[in-house]
């Protein structure tokens, strides 16, 4: 699609809007005088983001406290948005959760909980709002995948499953919708400073709290890019109608490695990580002399 997306006065719905990338996106779009529809299960967080968005210039802000893990359809939400705003111009499926532990440790209940939020909610919301998007030429969909929609590390089977699926869903959807005037951008962030790792659900097989400590250390070490920077890049990608956006050096490096060595990237990354641990003295197997 060649026409650029103009945000002023356009109705933009964002899930996971109470924190992280979702909140940063809401505020970035508020600066562009968009109309905001914010969805999250965190009512207090939503209220604060809505307040800040109003101060920054949003034309209108509506909030909906919804738990996307409940498995319900979203036709009621779509009907409410249509009644109040006439429909959406930009749908941002951003909400996401993660699950710590190996596939062996993860229960099927937890695995299905993650898929409900990370994948099925994306499908349900897109399906519910599709008639509105098709009726508004130049509308757009953003689906937030992940670095782990490009590479699939051990210990993240559920999360990678959901994010690779979001990637495939987005690509196929784009091929269907672009001829009808609706754009689709899939986003692969990596290393963004949000609460997703620290707030990860832990598997039942973590009696000593090792997974929680691992998630905390990972968040401190690897998640360094401010969510505000990621939001600016996403808004720019929508404005330019880009089909794919990889955010952050970690994600770009992972993407390149997976392209160069699709069958061996995990082995290579583990060897590189082992060398770095030796160089920094952070190797748990290394003994002091």
Q: Which positions are catalytic? A: 159
- 17's tokens: 């809007």
β-pairing verdict for 90-93 and 60-65: unpaired
Cross-strand bridge partners of residue 188: 246
Cross-strand bridge partners of residue 38: 14, 63
Q: Is 52:38 a contact under the CB 8 Å cutoff?
A: no
β-pairing verdict for 60-65 and 35-40: parallel
Cα–Cα distance between 20 and 17 in angstroms, integer? 8
Output the CA torsion 118→24→175→2 (10° steps): 180
């Amino acid at each position: 699609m060649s026409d650029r997306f103009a945000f002023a006065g356009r109705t933009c719905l964002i899930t996971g809007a109470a924190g992280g990338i979702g909140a940063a996106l809401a505020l970035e779009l508020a600066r562009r005088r968009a109309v905001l529809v914010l969805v999250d299960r965190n009512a207090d967080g939503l209220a604060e983001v809505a307040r800040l968005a109003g101060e920054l210039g949003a034309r209108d802000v509506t909030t909906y406290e919804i738990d996307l893990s409940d498995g319900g359809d979203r036709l009621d939400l779509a009907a409410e948005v249509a009644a109040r705003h006439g429909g959406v111009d930009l749908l941002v499926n951003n909400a996401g959760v993660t699950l710590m532990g190996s596939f062996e440790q993860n229960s099927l209940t937890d695995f299905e909980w993650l898929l409900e939020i990370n994948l099925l909610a994306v499908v349900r919301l897109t399906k519910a709002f599709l008639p509105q998007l098709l009726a508004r030429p130049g509308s757009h969909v953003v689906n937030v995948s992940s670095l782990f929609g490009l590479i699939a590390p051990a210990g993240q089977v559920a999360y990678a499953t959901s994010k690779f699926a979001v990637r495939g869903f987005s690509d196929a959807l784009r091929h269907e919708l672009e001829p009808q005037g609706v754009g689709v951008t899939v986003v692969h962030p990596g290393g963004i400073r949000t609460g997703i790792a620290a707030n990860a659900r832990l598997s039942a097989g973590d009696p000593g709290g090792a997974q929680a400590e691992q998630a905390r250390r990972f968040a401190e070490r690897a998640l360094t890019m401010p969510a505000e920077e990621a939001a600016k890049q996403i808004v720019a990608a929508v404005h330019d109608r880009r089909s794919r956006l990889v955010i952050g050096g970690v994600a770009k490096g992972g993407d390149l490695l997976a392209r160069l060595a699709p069958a061996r990237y995990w082995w290579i990354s583990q060897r590189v990580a082992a060398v770095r641990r030796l160089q920094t003295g952070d190797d748990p197997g290394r003994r002091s002399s």
